[in-house]
Amino acid sequence: MEERMQNLAERLDLIPPSPTLALDAKAKALKAAGRDIINFGIGEPDFDTPAHIGEAAIKAIKDGFTRYTPADGALELKEAICEKFRRDNGLEYKPSQIVVSNGGKHSLYNTCLGLFQPGDEVILPTPCWISYAPMLTLAGAAAVTVKTNAANGYTITAEDLERAITPKTRGIFINSPSNPTGMAYGADRLKELASVILKHKLWVVTDDIYEKILFDGAKFQNLPMVEPALYDQTVIAHGHSKTYAMTGWRLGFIAGPEKLARGVANIQSQTTSNPCSISQKAGLAALTGPQDSVAEMAASFQRRRDLIIGLLAEIPGVTCPVPQGAFYVFPDVSAYYGKKNGEAVINTSDEMAAYLLETAEAAIVPGSGFGDDRNLRLSYAVSDDDIKRGLGRVKEALLALK
């Protein structure tokens, strides 16, 4: 590691860059240099933002809705978010319990600042999204990882949770459907967890950003939906990025206890002020307008899930449970560890991802950052043709290892 300049803060040494964004940058650079890179790296829908949402933004500009709004979001958008929770989740929130931020990432970070502090432990069932641990670190809290596995659908069990709890435990993150595994929690598993969470009075941070990308007719569930007693100790983190193909607009929101929402609003008022006023108008149109595109995108992801799962199954030694949502697969490729590419032995997911980028020209995120080094994460928010060509090349590259 580079020696830290004397006058920089120590926290800079604690936060690595996001490996997914780093991989995306590398893939784009190789592509720009003329290489035929297929990018399975980045977690964003490959659809355009639906037209009526864009039009609402253009209207916002024309109408001069270009000034500061309240730091925690315009009232009309917060009301629409309350309506979303009522309609989709049967949960009642008041606008004073909602904070709109600059993307789901910002919402989750501010939630960490609002809930956790030095001395606190927070449980992360892993594999999990890369950014939770650094956010907790910035809040001064310790991330405690609890391994889940493919056999239990990559969900944490009540026994695993009970075993991980110490007197310092303050909270748990649940992300369903999950990035990176695509697995989702069912009501039974959530109910089991709820009783442990209630007993130990833990905060629940439920990251519902992939709520609308669920397959095979599954019904979305989160902890406060299955156990209403958890309502007062739950923060729902959500956003527009994945549901409405709005990654660049930067809109996220939380719903939770009013006191927390006020605190987070104060943090925003002192640090970032409001999320972009134009994006807020677009986000309002997204929530209140036609929802057909949401179902269409989910159906398209389900079709591509089937395609990629079928192709993975044709690679000897690779195993992968069938995801129930989101747009990721998390295959276990460890059967190929210990094999050689020329003289170099591949022993880790980082080495495997580097090999596949070079040899198969496929940009794939190593599982290490998500908490499982046996796996790779592929986003299948790419065209059918890229999935077919990319998986063909990956298979060839894996079989070439000796």
Could you list the residues that contact ligand PLP (CB under 6 A)? Answer: 43, 103-105, 129, 175, 179, 207, 209, 239, 241, 247, 252
Residues facing residue 38 across a β-bridge:
362
Least Å distance between CB 125 and ligand PLP? 12
Listing from the earlier edge strand, what are the strands of the sheet with 376-379?
A: 328-329, 376-379, 365-366
Report the amino acid identity of residue 272.
Answer: T
Least Å distance between CB 240 and ligand PLP? 7
Least Å distance between CB 320 and ligand PLP? 18
Least Å distance between CB 24 and ligand PLP? 11
Least Å distance between CB 293 and ligand PLP? 18
What backbone phi and psi angles, to 5 degrees, belong to 342? 65, -120
Choose between 207 and 332: whose C-beta lies nearer to ligand PLP. 207
3-class SS string, 114-132:
HHCCCCCEEEEEECCCCCH
Q: What angle do CA 333, 357, 329 make, to 5 degrees?
A: 45
What backbone phi and psi angles, to 5 degrees, belong to 94? -100, 155
Torsion of CA 323, 212, 73, 69, to 10 degrees: 110
Least Å distance between CB 10 and ligand PLP? 26
- Give the CB-nearest residue to ligand PLP: 104
Choose between 97 and 179: whose C-beta lies nearer to ligand PLP. 179
Residues 6+ away with beta carbon under 8 Å from 141 = 112, 116, 117, 118, 119, 120, 121, 122, 170
Choose between 104 and 125: whose C-beta lies nearer to ligand PLP. 104
Choose between 311 and 353: whose C-beta lies nearer to ligand PLP. 353
Choose between 207 and 372: whose C-beta lies nearer to ligand PLP. 207
Choose between 103 and 325: whose C-beta lies nearer to ligand PLP. 103
DSSP code for 199: H
Give which of 92, 99, 53, 109 is closest to 78, Cα–Cα: 99
Choose between 175 and 334: whose C-beta lies nearer to ligand PLP. 175
Least Å distance between CB 101 and ligand PLP? 9
